[in-house]
Chain A
Amino acid sequence: MSAVADSTAVAAVNKADVRPQRDNALLLVVAVFLVILGCWMLAVYRFDVPSYILPKPDAVLWALWSGLAVSPTSPIGYYLPLWGSLKNAAGGFLIGSVLGVSLGSLMAEFRTVEKSVMPYAFALQSLPKVAIAPLIVIWFGFGDGSKIAISALLAFFPMLINSFTGLRSVEPEKIDLMRSLSASRFETYRIVKLPHAAPYIFAGLDMAVVYALLGTIVAEFLGAQQGMGVVITQAQAITDVAGVFAALIILGALGIALHGLVRRAELRVVHWAHRNQK
Chain B
Amino acid sequence: MTLALRAVPSASAATQNAVIRAQGLSKTYTAKSGPHVHALDPIDLDINDGEFVSVVGPSGCGKSTLLRLIAGLDPQTGGTLALGGRAVEGPSNEVGVVFQAANLLPWLTVRENVRLPLRVGGREWKVGNRVDDLIAMTGLSDFAERYPYELSGGMQQRAGICRALARDPKILLMDEPFGALDALTRERMNLELQRIWQTNAKTILLITHSISEAIFLGSRVIVMSARPGRIIADLPVDIPRPRSLDAILAHPSYQSLSRQIRALLNAQGEVE
Contact = CB atoms under 8 A, between A and B. Distances in A.
Contact of B97 (A7, A177, A187, A195): A177
B192 interface: no
How big is chain B's contact interface, by range?
Answer: 20 to 34
Contacts of B90: 182
Nearest to A177: B103
Contacts of B122: 182, 184
A49 interface: no
A191 interface: yes
B121 interface: yes
A180 B120 contact: no
B97 A272 contact: no
B93 interface: yes
B93 A275 contact: no
B106 interface: yes
B149 A183 contact: no
Contacts of A7: 150
A198 B142 CA distance: 28
B168 to A, nearest CB: 14
Nearest to A4: B142
A25 interface: no
A276 B149 contact: yes
Interface in B30-70: 68
Given A176-B73, A180-B97, A272 B116 contact: no
Main secondary structure of the interface of A (DSSP, over half): helix
Contacts of B105: 174, 191-192, 195
A181 interface: yes
Nearest to B109: A272
A81 B7 CA distance: 85
Contact of A181 (B68, B106, B116, B152): B116
B95 interface: yes
Nearest to B71: A180
14 contacts: A173-B99, A173-B100, A178-B120, A180-B72, A183-B120, A184-B121, A184-B122, A187-B120, A192-B105, A195-B105, A272-B106, A272-B107, A272-B147, A275-B149
Interface of A: 1, 3-4, 7, 173-174, 176-184, 187, 191-192, 195-196, 198, 270-273, 275-276
* Closest 5 A/B residue pairs (Cβ): A183-B120, A182-B121, A195-B107, A272-B106, A187-B120
Interface of B: 68, 71-73, 90-91, 93, 95, 97, 99-101, 103, 105-107, 116-117, 120-122, 142, 147-150, 152, 155
Given A180-B95, A195-B105, A270-B107, 5 more contacts: A181-B91, A182-B121, A191-B105, A272-B106, A272-B147
